[in-house]
Amino acid sequence: MYHHILVPCDGSSESKAAGRHALDLAQRGEAAVQLLYVTGVGSGTTTAGEPTGEYPEQVAPAFEYLEQRAGERGVSVETDVRGGQPAATIVETAAEEAVDLVVMGTRGRTGLPRVVFGSVAEEVVRSASVPVMTVSQPTEKDWVTSPQQAQVHAEHALESAGHESADVGSPSRQRTTWVVAAEDDQGEYNVHINSASGEARIVKIR
């Protein structure tokens, strides 16, 4: 079981996907998550709960997004901004903070596809003294293409948010999103499922 998960985050969609995966692991194991952004210059540390404007512009939206998701899951999260060479700083931080798992993407802000070898992720895999889990951006095989898949995603999202007894309705398709109506004794909800990633967002409507 993991207790402290480190997630290197550069603001890219792939690092956000890695962050979501880490939050899922943390929720199941009651672990804490540390989000790390390596600036390349200078250094400093900031913790969750401070104004998002304190973060570097390129990573602020990702930090805010993952902090919100952590709050929805009841996961403790800390954000950390450090200077230095990315791979070395990630490895050093994992050792300094007694991390027992690193979860990171295999492609960064450039948007250029990378295999693990030759990338920052590969260097971290080679050098870290703790397990490293790499997460790829969702591909076509991960798309939610049927009402049945959308309903399953909605049920899992509701269970994770503490709505295990919710009655789930039939999904409706709206361009790139599935919308699933649900209801329990706490209220009524629409669960929005991103058809390209499977990410779920619960909106309470009454």
Nearest to 9 by CA among 51, 52, 49, 64: 64
Residue spans of the domains in the chain: they are 4-135, 141-204
Q: Are strands 77-82 and 32-38 parallel, antiparallel or unpaired?
A: parallel
Q: Which CATH superfamily is domain 4-135 in?
A: HUPs (3.40.50.620)
Provide the residue type at 188 as one letter: E
Give residue 110's pLDDT. 43
Give residue 113's pLDDT. 39
* pLDDT mean by block of 10 residues, the chain; 206 residues: 92 84 89 91 48 69 90 92 91 94 75 49 90 74 80 85 87 91 93 86 90
Give residue 139's pLDDT. 53
What is the spatial distance between Cα 76 and Cα 34, in angstroms, rounded to a whole number?
Answer: 9
The helix/strand/coil state of 59 is: coil
pTM: 0.63
Tens digits of residue pLDDT in 151-206: 888 888 888 788 878 899 999 998 889 999 999 998 999 999 988 878 889 999 98
